[in-house]
Amino acid sequence: MSHLKVALVGECMVELQATSVPNQYTQTFGGDTFNTAVYLRRVLTPAQAEISYITAVGTDPLSQQMLARFNECNLDTSLVTQNPNKFPGLYAINLDDKGERSFSYWRSDAAARYRFVGMSLEQLVALWQQFDIVYFSGISLAILPSETRDTFVQSLAQASKQVKVVFDLNYRPRLWESKELAKAYFEQIAQFAQVLFCSNDEDALLYDKEIVPAAQPYCLSAFQASEPSLLEQAIAVVSQARAQQADVITALQALEQQTHRHLVFKQRDTVQFYPTGIDYAQLLDKGVVTSYEYQALVVNKPQQVMTYSFTPLEKVVDTTAAGDSFAAGIIGAFLVLGTSAQQAAKLAQQVAQQVICHKGAIIPAEYTHPFAS
């Protein structure tokens, strides 16, 4: 296994946690992609991956503390910029008696919002191409100025030909001008993301549907929209293989491996992996492959849908960063270590269940360990 470079992009904020004493809070730092970066660093060894966090902070004392916290968490901070005219965002967490959290935010003019302002498409593509994997979220996208978003997404689409792009919807309605705009961006990203995370409630909220357990995701059609172009690639690969008298099966399997993508759909007690890939039945119908080649390809094709079920914890302390730590587990196990989807889901759930047994977004390091251990 080679040493991989992983970038996580977004916003870290000053976090205020409510205490048992009325009107008293403890102060730390958190934010969806920062939380994921910290847990990803913990579940992987330095030999397995370098974890970089890409954001912007200010030059004020809290920003300096935040930057120090990044370094304490063993994150590469070489791409964290400091804006002398801006400050970090802030949020407060309040918990109910079941550990469910509610948030209050002060972030509308935070430094992270301006991290990519003024960067050209070419500069952004070059930035992403330094990495093997780039992870960002709907929050990372929503906080950007509207004129920056299009260039940001276009650059990731271009870079996705060489870089594995991972996207977590993390849909927060109050951050978007409209639901329609958010959905348009999500559906665009769904066509090139290597792994797309979506929860049942986000899916229902975006598509004005009821939350139905175990239902097929409404966003699945957007995720599968890239399949027609993949079919065209497959036909071209077969044509080239035959012209060079190369093995068609090997050529198509290489393309499958290169382009295989997953929608990871999260529900309360299940995780489903929906893969997209080459439609070999259409290749057979079109006479592109022989019956023998079709059978050999289908036998080795990854399972169409993988479902992993787990037992929810009876006692939950704080659900903050549950999804963020789960994403870290999937990225670490599935994309970096190359485990099966089933094993990745199991490991990711173990990480998330540790996190929700403690207060705050970032729990003490002794409760999370590298997967190798």
Residue-by-residue pLDDT tens, the chain, 373 positions: 568 999 999 999 998 988 888 888 899 999 999 999 999 999 999 999 999 999 999 999 999 999 999 999 999 999 999 999 999 999 888 777 776 777 888 999 999 999 999 999 999 999 999 999 999 999 999 999 999 999 999 999 999 989 999 999 999 999 999 999 999 999 999 989 999 999 999 999 999 988 877 678 999 888 888 777 888 999 999 999 999 999 999 999 888 877 789 999 998 889 999 988 888 889 999 999 999 999 999 886 766 788 999 888 888 888 889 999 999 999 999 999 999 999 999 999 999 999 999 988 899 999 998 886 5
So what's the pLDDT on residue 147?
Answer: 93
**Model pLDDT, residue 311:** 86
56 and 183 fall within a common domain: yes
User: Residue 60 gets which letter from DSSP?
Assistant: S
Instruction: Give the separation between CA 315 and CA 356, rounded to whole angstroms.
Output: 9
Choose the final residue of a domain: 265, 299, 331.
265
Q: Is residue 270 part of a domain?
A: no
Do 79 and 210 belong to one domain? yes
Residue 372 lies in a domain: no
Q: Is-contact 166 140, C-beta < 8 A?
A: no
Alpha-carbon distances, residue 1 vs 76, 165, 348 (angstroms): 21, 19, 20
Same domain for 90 and 228, yes or no, is no
Asked whether residue 143 is domain-assigned, the answer is yes
Residues 74 and 128 in one domain: yes
Residue 57: which domain range?
4-216+277-367
Q: What local confidence, expressed as pLDDT, does residue 214 receive? A: 66
Same domain, 238 and 323: no
Q: Is residue 331 part of a domain?
A: yes
User: Does 123 map to a domain?
Assistant: yes
Q: Which of 76, 132, 203, 324 is catalytic?
A: 324
Q: Which of 201, 232, 265 is the last residue of a domain?
A: 265
Q: Of 228, 222, 227, nearest to 182 (Cα)? A: 222
The two structure tokens encoding residue 152:
């940001």
Judge if 99 and 229 occupy the same domain.
Answer: no
Same domain for 138 and 282: yes
Closest CA to 40 of 82, 9, 65: 9
- Is 191 found in the same domain as 243? no
Give yes or no: residues 114 and 157 share one domain. yes
DSSP annotation string for 286-311: TTSS-HHHHHHHHHTSPPS-EEEE-P
Q: Which helix (H) or strand (E) holds 6?
A: strand 4-9
Residue 223 contacts residue 276 (beta carbons within 8 Å): yes
H helices present in the chain, as ranges: 32-43, 61-72, 121-128, 138-142, 146-159, 179-190, 200-206, 220-223, 227-243, 248-259, 280-285, 291-299, 322-330, 341-355
Could you tell me if 45 and 155 lie in one domain?
A: yes
Pair 228, 328 in one domain: no
The structure tokens listed for 212 are 């139905």
Active site residue 324: yes
What CATH number should be reported for the domain holding residue 107?
A: 3.40.1190.20
For residues 108 and 225, membership in a common domain is answered with no
Q: Is residue 56 part of a domain?
A: yes
Provide CB contacts within 8 A for 237, sequence distance 6+.
251, 252, 255
Q: Is residue 73 part of a domain?
A: yes
**Is residue 296 included in any domain, yes or no?**
yes
Round to the nearest angstrom and report the end-to-end CA distance of the chain.
Answer: 17
Residue type, 369: H
**Number of domains into which the chain is organized:** 2
What residues contact 219, with CB distance under 8 A and at least 6 apart?
169, 186, 187, 190, 196, 198, 203, 206, 207, 263
